[in-house]
């Protein structure tokens, strides 16, 4: 299917009429969820998308692999940044274009239940999404799969990359004489950025005309969008970091139930793990999870109490940000950019330590992404467990509340950005996610005396945590998920060393719940080793913690899981 064919299908009155009954009576977020479900079914079953479903081949297994990537952002067996990768990415983009076009049509023709201001946010966000998909593909091809990327990866290991090249918002090239040079995104991608900027111009103009119930929210959004446009269009490399920092600050002032989120994450695509990936989204707070949001708030209070008792300078500097942080479960009606390949189940952003300390962070949880990942984790657990029933400990809501919440809240304090001057750039990226995973395990210990979890609850939560890490071994060579893979290897080795995880005579995994508290205690020791080193600005200790985690690859339990689960054709 071509991009134009998607537009034709959406415009087809018969297709629209055949699905509007499923949307009848739905309003607000419920309408957006219904549209996502309707378009998902069409992509999965309609003859209109048959050519996309057959991109990897016509067998059932090949079609299912394609649909996993296109519908659920699960990409095992598809080599990163290969020709096949970009063909599948284009199919995933068409699926999202289809959903976004359906949303726009619903906003034009149905009693949708959104205010004029909210409609403006959703409508123009969908248009920006379309343009970002084009930009992401160009960006990915610029940072991977070429001679510059290969040399950067090697020179980074040897410390030969000039510090100036670690700018978050540039593309690096090589001159004919072999020297590195760089250009801003706007300079390197003139057509793609120009297309996005033109949408922002129209968006800003139209929002200025729209009535809003809260004039202050509208003013904050206009201020934010204007700065966002400035950042995208900036060509002066010396101004890029400051302009995007200002954008982070303006974004933190927006405390509205609908959130626009700009390009903010780095470390998931380029060889230096420092370039911010094209990523844009709109997120709506989901009232279906009000009770869970209340529990997450209690977990945040427990974490605040712990960090307030620490004496180190980073605890004192970060406690205000931790207290001011906003955390909730959100619904994402559509995705674009890097999110089509790597969709976060949770985020704690922005990443700049100076903005975090001044403004706090916003923490988002995505139950749809979490559920999709858990389906994969259950399948993998069934393959490796001696008792397959243990896979039932994996629960979507429980994962968000007891695991992802503390992980993301943990990013709000003691982020490794605070010690970036004493560690490698790659270490900051590779260890930050393992540090946040350790925060989650440490917090599970804290929730026991706080009365939020029983010992049985803890046993189930930790088993779920471990089993979900099986996905990391399935995609063992993924550069995008490498920080999480490092964490998984270290956790499984630690669990094996303590006898919490063992292999039975049939080489099946067994879990000994009687040793779960010992595993958590040892995890807390590693966690506090990192925190103490950060307070001392002890880069050598931090580097050693990461080296020890990466060395876990040779542990027998890790080698066993790689052998059992790794989809080896990814490396072919």
Q: Mention every residue, 6+ apart, whose C-beta is less than 8 A from residue 128.
A: 196, 199, 200, 203, 280, 336
Q: How confident is the model at residue 9 (pLDDT cuts 50, 70, 90)?
A: confident
| CA 503 – CA 501 distance, rounded (Å) | 7
Determine the 3-state secondary structure of 258 from DSSP. Answer: strand
Q: What is the pLDDT of residues 201-242, one digit of tens each?
A: 999 999 999 999 999 999 999 999 999 999 999 999 999 999
- Computed over every residue of the chain, the mean pLDDT equals 94
For residue 570, the model assigns a pLDDT of 39
Residue 28 · residue 113 · CB < 8 Å: yes
Inter-residue contact 181 to 173 (CB < 8 Å): yes
Give strand ranges (E) for 408-540. Answer: 501-503, 509-511
Q: Are strands 326-331 and 281-285 parallel, antiparallel or unpaired?
A: antiparallel
Q: Which residues pair with 327 in a beta bridge?
A: 363
**For residue 567, is pLDDT > 80?**
no
Q: Distance between CA atoms of 551 and 36, rounded to whole angstroms?
A: 43
Beta strands in 226-313, from DSSP E residues, in sequence order? 258-261, 281-285
Which distant-in-sequence residues (6+ apart) come within 8 Å of 212 by Cβ?
115, 116, 117, 218
What is the predicted pLDDT for the residue at 2? 63
Q: How many CB atoms are located within 10 Å of the residue 116 CB?
A: 12
Please state the pTM of the whole predicted model: 0.83
| High-pLDDT (> 70) share of the chain, % | 97
Q: What are phi and psi of 448, to 5 degrees?
A: -70, -55
> Chain-centre distance of CA 430, in angstroms?
15
Write down the pLDDT at residue 506: 97
Q: Residue 160: CB partners within 8 Å, gap ≥ 6?
A: none
CA-based end-to-end distance of the chain: 28
Please state, in angstroms and rounded to a whole number, the distance separating the CA atoms of residues 21 and 173: 53
321-379 pLDDT, tens digit each: 899 888 999 999 999 999 998 888 889 899 898 898 888 889 999 998 888 888 889 99
Whole-number Å distance between alpha carbons of 72 and 171: 29
Dihedral sign computed on CA atoms, order 533, 273, 432, 463:
negative
Closest to 89 (Cα-Cα) out of 125, 50, 140: 140
Residue 72, C-beta contacts closer than 8 angstroms, at least 6 positions apart: 372, 375
Write down the domain spans for the chain: 1-113, 115-280, 370-571
Six-digit token string for 317: 């500097």
* Overall average pLDDT of the 132-160 stretch: 96
SS3 181: strand
């Amino acid at each position: 299917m071509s991009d134009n064919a998607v537009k034709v299908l959406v415009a087809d009155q018969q297709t629209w009429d055949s699905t509007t009954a499923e949307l009848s009576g739905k309003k607000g977020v419920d309408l957006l969820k219904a549209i996502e479900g309707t378009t998902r079914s069409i992509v999965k079953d309609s003859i209109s998308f048959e050519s996309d479903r057959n991109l990897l081949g016509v067998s059932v297994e090949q079609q299912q692999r394609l649909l996993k990537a296109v519908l659920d952002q699960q990409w095992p067996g598809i080599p990163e940044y290969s020709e096949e990768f970009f063909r599948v990415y284009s199919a995933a983009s068409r699926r999202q274009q289809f959903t976004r076009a359906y949303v726009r049509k619903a906003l034009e023709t149905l009693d949708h239940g959104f205010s004029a201001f909210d409609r403006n946010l959703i409508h123009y966000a969908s248009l920006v999404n379309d343009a970002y998909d084009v930009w992401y593909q160009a960006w990915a091809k610029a940072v991977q799969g070429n001679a510059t990327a290969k040399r950067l990866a090697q020179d980074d290991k040897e410390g030969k990359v000039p510090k100036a090249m670690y700018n978050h918002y540039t593309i690096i090239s090589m001159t004919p004489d072999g020297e590195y040079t760089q250009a801003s995104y706007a300079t390197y991608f003139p057509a793609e950025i120009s297309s996005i900027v033109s949408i922002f111009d129209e968006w800003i103009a139209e929002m200025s005309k729209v009535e809003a119930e809260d004039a202050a929210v509208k003013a904050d959004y206009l201020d934010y969008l204007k700065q966002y446009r400035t950042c995208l269009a900036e060509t002066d490399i010396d101004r890029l970091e400051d302009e995007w920092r200002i954008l982070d600050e303006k974004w933190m002032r927006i405390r509205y139930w609908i959130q626009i989120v700009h390009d903010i994450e780095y470390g998931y695509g380029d060889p230096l793990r420092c370039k911010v990936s094209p990523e844009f989204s709109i997120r709506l707070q989901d009232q279906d999870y009000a009770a869970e949001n209340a529990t997450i708030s209690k977990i945040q209070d427990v974490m605040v109490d712990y960090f307030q008792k620490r004496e180190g300078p980073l605890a004192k500097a970060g406690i205000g940000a931790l207290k001011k942080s906003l955390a909730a479960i959100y619904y994402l009606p559509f995705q674009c950019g890097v999110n089509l390949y790597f969709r976060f189940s949770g985020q704690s952003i922005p990443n700049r330590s100076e903005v975090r300390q001044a403004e706090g962070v916003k923490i988002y949880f995505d139950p749809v992404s979490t559920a999709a990942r858990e389906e994969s984790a259950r399948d993998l657990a069934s393959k490796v467990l001696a008792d397959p029933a243990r896979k039932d400990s994996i629960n979507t809501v429980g994962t968000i509340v007891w695991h992802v919440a503390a992980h993301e809240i943990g990013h709000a304090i003691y982020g490794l950005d605070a010690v970036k001057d004493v560690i490698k750039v790659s270490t900051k990226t590779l260890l930050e996610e393992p540090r946040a995973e350790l925060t989650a395990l440490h917090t599970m210990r804290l929730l026991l005396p706080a009365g939020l979890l029983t010992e049985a609850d803890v046993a189930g939560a930790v088993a779920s945590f471990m089993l979900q890490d099986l996905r990391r071994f399935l995609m063992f060579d993924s550069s995008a998920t490498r920080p999480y893979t490092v964490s998984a290897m270290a956790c499984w080795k630690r669990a094996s060393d303590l006898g919490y995880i063992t292999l039975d005579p049939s080489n099946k995994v067994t879990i000994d719940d009687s040793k779960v508290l010992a595993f958590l205690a040892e995890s807390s020791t590693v966690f506090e080793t990192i925190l103490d080193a950060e307070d001392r600005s002890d880069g050598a200790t931090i580097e050693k913690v990461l080296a020890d985690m990466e060395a876990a690859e040779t542990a027998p339990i890790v080698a066993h899981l790689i052998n059992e689960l790794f989809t080896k054709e990814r490396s072919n």
